[in-house]
Amino acid sequence: MSTFEPTESEKVAPDHLHNHIDGHWQPALAGGVRRNGNPSDVTDPIGEFAESGAADAVAAVDAARAAGPAWDELGPIKRGGLLFDAAALFAERLDEFAAAIAREQGKRIAEGRAEAERALEILRFTAGEGRRLHGQTLPAEADRSWALTWRRPIGVVALVTPWNFPLAIPTWKVAPALLSGCTAVLKPSPFTPHTAALLVQTLLDAGLPPGVLNLVQGDREVGETLVGHPDVAGISFTGSLPVGLAIQEQAAPRLARTQLELGGKNAVIVLADADLDAAAEAIVHGAFGQAGQRCSATSRVVVDRAVREPLVARLAARAGRMRVGPATAPDSDLGPVVNADRRDACLAAVARAVAEGATLACGGRAPTGGLPDGYYVEPTVLTDVARDSDLAQEEVFGPVLAVLDADGYADAMAVANSVRYGMSGTIFTRSMARVHDALRDFQAGMLHVNRPGVGAWPHLPHMGSKLSQYGPPECSPEQWDFYTEWRSACISFPDDRAGG
């Protein structure tokens, strides 16, 4: 029997089970549906959402292309005004967004609310860019002449988003796409369709014209159709490295733009002089917040051997006190992972690491006692992890933390940089000289000192290095280099004054 009973506000509106194309909510053209359920309680069916195919994707691109000229003509200031109107509605719906995120993705209500608030700040930031989407006036080489540059939207963009941030990531793609004058097709993860539908509805309620933003629910067939469509000028994707590489390969022959935010294997370096209590609190937050399902999650701790034992004791004690439970339970410290595949992958990674010689400091199982039938994984800390092992090198994307030993700063930094990803890097130390060195030496895009090493503040670029990122960073003015292209003009004015 289900332990989750949705309130009236949490129930899915019939329209939101469908795609939204050219101003209309409509089922998938072939009639396909996919059941979406609650990872906290598999007996809670959220709804049967559209399972779209190539024809739906093509229809959405056609609608976006047709809507492009009028949307471009509106200009960035008026487009920004519409986004400000959407932000006002968004602020009124934070609780609705948080409930949808918790129910279909599994984040605790507080985490869902934090994501909704972050999305709102990103929306407001982007709306304000409508008055700053500028070019330059440059010196001209001829008399009575001007030299100008300005930006133009690239056209139709495909926005392919993941399940781990089902509101924030679609928002930080949709908002700049619309402000720039692009029209868009949003393809969210099939695991989180409801949250995406609520975002689209909010923009529609703010007055977004038909065809400017189209929502197509579905999986691989939709994504491949969008990436290969000749009228799609750019693809912004957040997700796994293998899918990102496939998108790049498919888009390259026609020179379609790509913006790819991919995996992470993020390290926190703890030096011998660090505040171990502060480090342990930050590591637990980074490793187990949102069940470890974020690209910037703390996946590795690289600790000086001199303080390894006291740090591990603190980590195990804090992780061991965490209460695993449903996303909506007020006493839950750690919600479920998103589905059975993710749970099984986490447990398999732990078992493989132990078989290779790692030691379980805590966790490592799927808890069952007193919990509904959901996808739960205990917060897990492993020590004695080999530097070249899968657990030390590859993304787990769950509440699993690897502890690796190091001999001083140089060795710790070498371990931190030894992976193919470079999303986030963090150091705990009291030495300002080491802080300086770390900011220079980390091969990662988002850096932190003596604080949790997850993400960046909403007004800072969200970016990685190495195989974590390709293309302009998001959540920053630099994103316009993806959504727009430059124009320049040399203008000479005739001397039409009477008498020459």
117 — phi, psi (to 5°)? -65, -40
**Domain, as residue range, for 68:** 14-262+468-487
Residues 423, 428, 433, 434, CA torsion sign: negative
Beta strands in 232-358 (DSSP E): 232-238, 257-261, 266-270, 298-304
| 454 assigned to some structural domain | no
DSSP strand pairing (469-470 vs 257-261): antiparallel
| 1 assigned to some structural domain | no
Whether residues 159 and 191 share a domain: the answer is yes
Whether residues 218 and 308 share a domain: the answer is no
| 124 assigned to some structural domain | yes
| 94 assigned to some structural domain | yes
DSSP strand pairing (19-21 vs 24-26): antiparallel
Whether residues 33 and 177 share a domain: the answer is yes
Active site residue 261: yes
Q: What pTM value is reported for the model?
A: 0.95
Whether residues 275 and 210 share a domain: the answer is no
Beta strands in 363-423 (DSSP E): 380-383, 400-406, 421-422
Query: Maximum distance among all alpha carbons in the chain?
Result: 96
Q: List the catalytic residue out of 51, 115, 182, 295.
A: 295
For the domain that residue 158 is a member of, what is the CATH number?
3.40.605.10
Between CA 276 and CA 285, with CA 282 as vertex, the angle to 5 degrees is 140
Per-residue pLDDT tens, the chain, 500 aa: give them. Answer: 345 566 666 789 999 999 999 999 999 999 999 999 999 999 999 999 999 999 999 999 999 999 999 999 999 999 999 999 999 999 999 999 999 999 999 999 999 999 999 999 999 999 999 999 999 999 999 999 999 999 999 999 999 999 999 999 999 999 999 999 999 999 999 999 999 999 999 999 999 999 999 999 999 999 999 999 999 999 999 999 999 999 999 999 999 999 999 999 999 999 999 999 999 999 999 999 999 999 999 999 999 999 999 999 999 999 999 999 999 999 999 999 999 999 999 999 999 999 999 999 999 999 988 899 999 999 999 999 999 999 999 999 999 999 999 999 999 999 999 999 999 999 999 999 999 999 999 999 999 999 999 877 777 899 999 999 999 999 988 999 999 999 999 999 998 876 65
Active site residue 48: no
User: How far is the CA of 150 from the CAs of 68, 132, 393, in angstroms?
Assistant: 18, 11, 43
Q: Which amino acid is at 315?
A: L
Q: How does pLDDT run across 267-289, given as a tens digit for each residue?
A: 999 999 999 999 999 999 999 99
| 493 assigned to some structural domain | no
How many distinct structural domains can be found in the chain? 2
| Alpha carbon of residue 104 to chain centroid | 16
Q: How does pLDDT run across 54-66, given as a tens digit for each residue?
A: 999 999 999 999 9
Whether residues 257 and 285 share a domain: the answer is no
Whether residues 246 and 328 share a domain: the answer is no
Whether residues 216 and 280 share a domain: the answer is no
User: Are 296 and 423 spatial neighbours (Cβ–Cβ below 8 Å)?
Assistant: yes
Distance between CA atoms of residues 222 and 57, nearest Å: 6
Distance between CA atoms of residues 161 and 192, nearest Å: 10
| 45 assigned to some structural domain | yes
pLDDT, residue 24, reads 98
For the domain that residue 295 is a member of, what is the CATH number?
3.40.309.10
Whether residues 244 and 116 share a domain: the answer is yes
3-class secondary structure, 274:
coil
Whether residues 22 and 161 share a domain: the answer is yes
Whether residues 87 and 201 share a domain: the answer is yes
Whether residues 125 and 176 share a domain: the answer is yes
Whether residues 96 and 160 share a domain: the answer is yes
Distance between CA atoms of residues 311 and 269, nearest Å: 12
Q: List the catalytic residue out of 115, 261, 378, 474.
A: 261
| 2 assigned to some structural domain | no
DSSP strand pairing (359-362 vs 298-304): unpaired
User: Are 483 and 180 spatial neighbours (Cβ–Cβ below 8 Å)?
Assistant: yes
Distance between CA atoms of residues 126 and 108, nearest Å: 27
Computed over every residue of the chain, the mean pLDDT equals 95
User: Are 38 and 189 spatial neighbours (Cβ–Cβ below 8 Å)?
Assistant: no
| 143 assigned to some structural domain | yes
User: Are 46 and 38 spatial neighbours (Cβ–Cβ below 8 Å)?
Assistant: yes
